[in-house]
Amino acid sequence: MIMPTDTILILDFGSQYSHLIARRIRENLVYSEIVPYDISPEEIGEWQAEFLIKGLILSGGPNSVFDSDAPKISSEMLGLNIPVLGLCYGHQLVAYVTGGSVKPAKKREFGQAYATIKKPVGVLKGLKGREKVWMSHSDTVFSLSTEYEALASTENCPVAAFRHKERAIYGLQWHPEVVHTENGDKMLRNFVFEVCKSEPNWTMDDFLLKAKAEIPEVVGSGKVIVALSGGIDSSTATAIASEAVGKRLTAVFVDHGFMREEEPEFVEATFQRLDMNFIAVDARKRFLRRLKGVINPEQKRMIIGEEFIRVFEGEARKVGAEYLLQGTIYPDRVESGLSKPSEKIKTHHNVAGLPADMEFKAVVEPLRDLYKDEVRKVAQKLDLPMKIAERQPFPGPGLAVRIVGEVTARKLDIVKKADKIVTDEIEKTSLKNRLWQYFAILTDTRSTGVKGDSRAYGYIIVIRCVESQEAMTASFSRIPYQILEKISSRITNEIPEVTRVVYDITHKPPATIEWE
């Protein structure tokens, strides 16, 4: 029997750090998931059916408790007998709703600060008298109701940490999840293990066991079809499903024509060798036809998503499959707006792109709770070829969202060549290990140049190289100029249609990693 997993729920009040909190906890082998801030006690009860909810973390957020529309928490949530830790806005909120005094501060405190720890207990157990912490707040807790006591202060913040005198309710004004809080990890571990008494029982082996058991529970003796793109997510989902249901699984690889150079051949060669039902569908003309004249990025994504499903439905009918399996991962789910209050950022083709009249009985998503690096760990456990486990992420709609404006066969040819040059040059260096993604984008803008002895008017190619942990945030990489120079001169020399190459120096946020 598979035991329920100890879980810490993060109630998301709109913090940009919610994912960071979840990841820090998971790194300690305790499962963590982000839920909307207004989750009800009844909904927590529903979670309890499958997970052992050991603690609740109230995240930070952009609001002030005094805003008329500020997200609040009901006092019932503090009385559930589940330990609570409020961080930043969460800290102010707990103090405020329990009768403490919270005031708008005279001065906004931002950046490094030193906390004086008066009582090193509970979340602060084992900490020194003075701790380097990272703050970002305006409202400040000045005093607490009599049931609570202050545990730490900073120069501008009389109650920088507190606890309930009898129950496991804590607040920290600072952010333990960011690396700038020197002992932040210790604080989170104190909460997870000392206060919540969680067991570090969330490992990739447990995950695999659970994922494999879950698939037959959903599909019974039915046949399953999987959308296999050859990327790390769908390949891992396919390998799990293949172990779970064997030959009742058919993997369908749709070549929509938006893959990188040599990619369709690689995917076909890899999966045809494995012991599974594998079908490759050449749908290049069909996709290009549907995208004719389309320039709106969201529309492109919706069309590609729908067309994907139509192709699958056709194949599923042929093999008699009633279930669709997908490699959707956790950030796809969150970024598609399936978890309030995170805003919808982009429509990931494999989630919100599903047509309403879909013919499948159910969609199975075994990786839906994992971050990308966790998927990589699972891929390694499954002995997937290294080339797949190490591949950089690639969007489902492929190069179609790396061509700004209308997608045409000619533009696809240009961006494929440019992408190959970027990949070749980066992979010659050790930069490959540092970069999360490296690729080319074809803009819809032309620019004047000189090629040979004459004036040329050609396309602008953008190079994007980013470093990231899980794609929720990313930084452009400061890669050496010599490498950029090599890439630039190769692109302008080898691709006649391109006259200019630029480097994207925007972090995520405010940009996204992909251009569309």
Contact indicator for 123, 86 with CB cutoff of 8 Å: no
What is the C-alpha separation between 348 and 246, in angstroms, rounded?
Answer: 28
From the list 177, 263, 374, 470, the catalytic residue is: 177
Per CB under 6 A, which region of 91-99, 277-285, 346-354, 413-421 contacts ligand XMP?
A: 346-354
Q: Using the rule CB under 6 A, is 437 a contact of ligand XMP? A: yes
Neighbouring residues of 277: CB distance < 8 A, sequence distance ≥ 6 = 247, 249, 250, 251, 319
Per CB under 6 A, which region of 17-25, 287-295, 310-318, 393-401 contacts ligand XMP?
A: 393-401
Number of residues that bind ligand XMP (CB under 6 A): 15
Cβ-based neighbour number of residue 258 at 10 Å: 26
Query: Binding mask 456-495 vs ligand XMP (x if CB under 6 A, - otherwise)?
Result: ---------------x------------------------
Q: H helices of 28-157, where?
A: 41-48, 75-78, 89-97
HSE of 107 in the Cβ direction (CA atoms, 13 Å)? Answer: 7
Smallest distance from ligand XMP to CB 113, Å: 31
HSE of 192 in the Cβ direction (CA atoms, 13 Å)? Answer: 29
Q: Using the rule CB under 6 A, is 337 a contact of ligand XMP? A: no
Q: Using the rule CB under 6 A, is 403 a contact of ligand XMP? A: no
Q: Which is nearer to ligand XMP, 232 or 245 (CB)?
A: 232
Q: How many residues does the chain have?
A: 516
CA dist list (Å): 149 to 74, 77, 163, 190 = 21, 20, 6, 18
Per CB under 6 A, which region of 101-109, 348-356, 410-418, 421-429 contacts ligand XMP?
A: 348-356
Smallest distance from ligand XMP to CB 327, Å: 7
What is the C-alpha separation between 46 and 339, in angstroms, rounded?
Answer: 17
Q: Using the rule CB under 6 A, is 122 a contact of ligand XMP? A: no
Q: Which is nearer to ligand XMP, 93 or 435 (CB)?
A: 435
Q: Using the rule CB under 6 A, is 405 a contact of ligand XMP? A: no
Q: Which residue among 19, 91, 333, 348 contacts ligand XMP (CB under 6 A)?
A: 348
CA dist list (Å): 251 to 227, 274, 340 = 6, 11, 33
From the list 91, 137, 175, 256, the catalytic residue is: 175
Rounded (to 5) percent helix, strand, coil in the chain: 35, 25, 40
Q: Which residue among 109, 365, 419, 514 contacts ligand XMP (CB under 6 A)?
A: 514
What is the C-alpha separation between 214 and 27, in angstroms, rounded?
Answer: 24
Q: H helices of 355-498, where?
A: 372-381, 386-389, 409-427, 431-434, 481-494
Per CB under 6 A, which region of 138-146, 285-293, 345-353, 480-488 contacts ligand XMP?
A: 345-353
Q: Using the rule CB under 6 A, is 90 a contact of ligand XMP? A: no
Q: Which residue among 163, 346, 368, 417 contacts ligand XMP (CB under 6 A)?
A: 346
Per CB under 6 A, which region of 2-10, 36-44, 181-189, 395-403 contacts ligand XMP?
A: 395-403
Smallest distance from ligand XMP to CB 331, Å: 7
What is the C-alpha separation between 181 and 254, in angstroms, rounded?
Answer: 47
Q: H helices of 71-148, where?
A: 75-78, 89-97
- Does the annotation mark 88 as catalytic? yes
Q: Using the rule CB under 6 A, is 376 a contact of ligand XMP? A: no
Q: Which residue among 227, 397, 422, 459 contacts ligand XMP (CB under 6 A)?
A: 397
User: Nearest to residue 472, comparing CAs of 15, 2, 113?
Assistant: 15
Question: What does the binding site for ligand XMP look like in residue numbers (CB under 6 A)?
Answer: 335, 346, 348-350, 393, 395-397, 437, 471, 508, 512-514
Q: Which positions are catalytic? A: 88, 175, 177
